[in-house]
Each structure stands twice: as structure tokens, then as C-alpha cells.
Amino acid sequence: MIRKTINKKQQEIALEWPESFYGVSDRAIRKAALEKQIEKGEEPEANRLRMELWEKRYNRRGRDPEGIDYFIRAWLSMKYIYNNRNGVFYGRKMQRDLRKIQEELCLDWGRESGSQREQVLYDELYHLGGCYIDLCLSDKSYSSIIMGMGQMKASTLQNKIGQEILALAYQLPKLARMEKEFQILTQALTDCYNEKFPDAPVNLDA
């Protein structure tokens, strides 16, 4: 099932499940909504998997500071990898770095096709896409024209986001010959982008 994200103001509105979990970005609100469903005893296996994935995405790891969204961090790391793809010595390192991203995004966790894990992972990656797109839309520096002389018009901003998804979710895995490993991420971000921007200038098709 495709989940939609909403903006921060809408988070104050009482939402029904599953929007109370997939329709907000605040991790604490999401966890509280999920715990409420678990207490009700509904979808026990699916909710167990959702909690497991929530913990993988948000729980502190080692000496990292509190508050890291590891899925967002992984996506930003993919931007770094893509931007350095043409470095003289980086080509050999690219696949190794993407293996780390693969682990951080739990792509192997939901690898089994048609499984409940795959669906839960897809939904969470779709949520990741919505969160990142919302960040881009709200970040004035992301949408500013060169030299900060103004803001991009909506279609230009949508194009910028679409080109970024095209580069990171399509071209980067292809360069590393890891399309299969990243397929679920590619599909989730494609569906999220197309749902948010049905008339966007960039045509994504996974």
C-alpha cells in the first residue's frame, strides 16, 4: 500500500491508522501511533516488523549522537557517493560504500519478494521519500536560484528533485551494477515522487 506524508501542521490533527504512522515525520509521534496499534492486537506480525524497522531507522547506534534518521543519512550519503563518482580512485570504492548504504537502508532485511517484510520496507522507504521531498520543498537554500537572487518556481523545483532521484536511485546503482539490490528503493521513491507530482516535468518509471 502506498503511504502519503503530510506537513508538520497537519501532524497536530488526530489521524487514523495508518496515516497516524505513515502520514507524519516526527519519530516519537510515529512510535506512539504504532505502539497504540500493537496494544490493540491488530496486524500483530506486520506491526512487529514495523517496530523492528522503526528501531533500525531511528535507534541510536554506537557513539552516534541522538536523533539521527539513518534512512535520511543513507540517502544523503548516496548524494556524496554520486558527486564523487568520477574521482580517479573512487570508482573501486563506490560499490563498497553502496554496500554500507544497502545495509543502513535495510534493503536485505526486506529482500524476499512478495513477503510481508518487503511490503513493510517498501512502505518505510516510501515514507523516507516523502520526508526528503518535504525537506527539499521547505528548504529555501535548496530552492534558491544561483546567488540567492530568488526562489525557483514550482515546476523547476520539482524538476530538481526529480533529477536528483533519477541520479541517485537509478543512475548510481546502475554505475555500481547494483540495480537489483536497490530496486525496492528505486520503486518506492519513484512511486512517492509520481504521487506527489503527477504533472512533474521529470518522468520516473521504475
Is 203 among the domain residues?
no
Is 86 among the domain residues?
yes
Q: Which of 76, 65, 60 is nearest to 131 (CA)?
A: 76
Is 36 among the domain residues?
yes
Looking at residue 11, what is its pLDDT?
A: 45
Can you give the residue range of the structural domain that contains 52?
Answer: 8-196
Looking at residue 148, what is its pLDDT?
A: 60
What is the per-residue pLDDT across 133-153, written as a single tens digit (0 to 9) for each?
Answer: 999 999 988 888 765 667 889
Looking at residue 8, what is its pLDDT?
A: 46
Does pLDDT of 184 surpass 80? yes
Q: What percent of the chain has pLDDT over 70?
A: 90
Q: Is residue 151 classed as helix, strand or coil in its secondary structure? A: strand
The sign of the CA dihedral 34, 37, 38, 44 is negative
Alpha-carbon distance of 73 to 41, in angstroms, equals 32
Q: Tell me the residue type at 180.
A: K
What is the per-residue pLDDT across 77-86, written as a single tens digit (0 to 9) for each?
Answer: 999 999 988 8
What is the per-residue pLDDT across 59-74, written as a single tens digit (0 to 9) for each?
Answer: 998 899 999 999 999 9
Is 154 among the domain residues?
yes
Is 2 among the domain residues?
no
- Regarding predicted confidence, which is higher, 10 or 37? 37
Alpha-carbon distance of 97 to 39, in angstroms, equals 39
Is 62 among the domain residues?
yes
Is 93 among the domain residues?
yes
Which pLDDT band holds residue 10 (cuts at 50, 70, 90)? Answer: very low
What is the per-residue pLDDT across 11-30, written as a single tens digit (0 to 9) for each?
Answer: 445 689 999 999 999 999 99
Number of domains into which the chain is organized:
1
Is 204 among the domain residues?
no
Does pLDDT of 3 surpass 60? no
